[in-house]
Amino acid sequence: MKLPYTTIESIDAKYICIDIIDDYCGDILECLPLINNWNWKAYIDIDTGYILNWTTDKNFSEFKNIVGSDKIYKLFLKVVDRGIYKILDSNFKVLFEINDYVPNFIPNEFGDYVDLKIEVDTGKIINFNKNMLLEYNFEIK
């Protein structure tokens, strides 16, 4: 997806990395895929909304039992200004890094809460809208 970079050029962004910590310990499931010491880190394909590193191994059956029959996990987590959000190119090179409140291109509530709805079997974020990236003001540092 081409994102505006300056008034005369754009960059080719391919992935988003979300790296968040559950500071309030207990809001996030310990059996959630990609969780490690209360830290959740996911790589999302911008074009498809799929989490690239989604896994169904560690504690997945326990996780699946908690989710229920709709097979959609609702990751609603208060991270406030402690998240790290990276825009990456196709080689996973960091193009932009945001260390702040949840940016508007990540489904969220008030910039304080990450609000992702994830298909359990596939790792697809069903409420991800790649077009929100076009509305974000990426500033050159």
| Residue boundaries of the structural domains of the chain | 2-135
pLDDT at res. 90: 95
pLDDT at res. 141: 46
- The CB density around residue 139, as the number of other CB atoms within 10 Å, is 8
Distance CA 127, CA 107 (A): 7
- What SS3 state is found at 60? helix
Instruction: Kindly give the parts of the chain with pLDDT less than 70.
Output: 4-9, 23-31, 57-69, 139-141
pLDDT at res. 87: 94
Q: Would you give the DSSP letter of residue 7?
A: S
Q: What residues are paired with 41 via a beta bridge?
A: 19
Closest by CA to 31, choosing from 56, 53, 59, 68, is 59
CB 34 within 8 A of CB 54: yes
Q: Taking the complete model, does pTM exceed 0.85, yes or no?
A: no
- Determine phi and psi for 67, rounding to 5 degrees: -65, -45
Helices marked H in 10-113: 60-67
- CB within 8 Å of 22: residues ≥ 6 apart: 28, 38, 39, 40, 77, 79
pLDDT at res. 9: 66
